Amino acid sequence: MAKYSMRKLAGGALALFLIAGFMLVDSSAQKRRRKRRTSTPRITNPAIYQPSANDNANTAGDTSNTSQNANSQGQNKPSEDPEEMKRTIRSLSSQVDKLSDKLGQMQEDQRSLVDLERLSRGEQRSAQLHGEMRDVQAKEAELQARLEDINYALKPENIERATAGVGSTHPEEVREQRRKQLEAEKLRVQGQLDHLAASRASLEQAIAAAESEVDRLRKKLDAADQAAIENAKRKAQAQASSQSSQPYSSPTPTPNP
């Protein structure tokens, strides 16, 4: 029984010791927290600098000096030379004129190339039509000769002479058959001649139109060539006059050392 009571006392003492230890730890932690809260730094506003009267006077003096220097630099800047501006304007104007001349020359050359191509085609067309005309005339001459032979053969004495060697009991029928053959051939040849005459008339009109177009294009090209020559002469004269009108600048002698 005494042992049991001793154990209870020892257990109660141990419990009291543990509780006291926990309380001490908690109190020390609360003290640390209070110290951390009280050690927060305070923010203080710095003192504003107030410039003195001398500093203000020096600042105003520096500003006035800066403005005076800027004004003096603006006044000392040299003005542009009017003669130089005139020369620049003349140079730009001459460049524009040259470009305009080149553009006009290019357009004129393009038109000349087109006219040359049309002239070449016109000449080829005219030569082709002339060749066709020669063929038509040759056929006409051949058919005309054949028609003359037929007309000669249609004469009664020629028909009788042509049928004299044919043995027949009815020679008048033979002569009539010969005449009909010649008349039919004459009609056929005359029809061919009429067709060739119509072709020849249309060819004559086509040849006249082609030759007129060729003549017009040749005159146009000749006029363009003459105008180009005249323009070249005028440009050469203008350049020569402009060079002669410019004052001669004598070279500046170099000083001897």
- Choose among 60, 68, 210: nearest CA to 132: 210
Separation CA 155–CA 131 (nearest Å): 37
* pLDDT at residue 150 is higher than 80: yes
| pLDDT at residue 71, as a whole number | 52
CB distance 192 to 141 below 8 Å: no
Question: If pLDDT is split at 50, 70 and 90, which confidence band does 35 have?
Answer: low
Separation CA 154–CA 183 (nearest Å): 8
CA angle 127, 132, 136 (to 5 degrees): 145
- Choose among 147, 149, 145, 178: nearest CA to 161: 178
Q: pLDDT, tens digit, for every residue of 38-93?
A: 444 454 555 554 555 455 445 545 555 555 554 555 454 445 678 888 888 888 88
| pLDDT at residue 186, as a whole number | 93
93-236 belongs to CATH 2.60.40: no
Question: Which pTM value belongs to this model?
Answer: 0.50
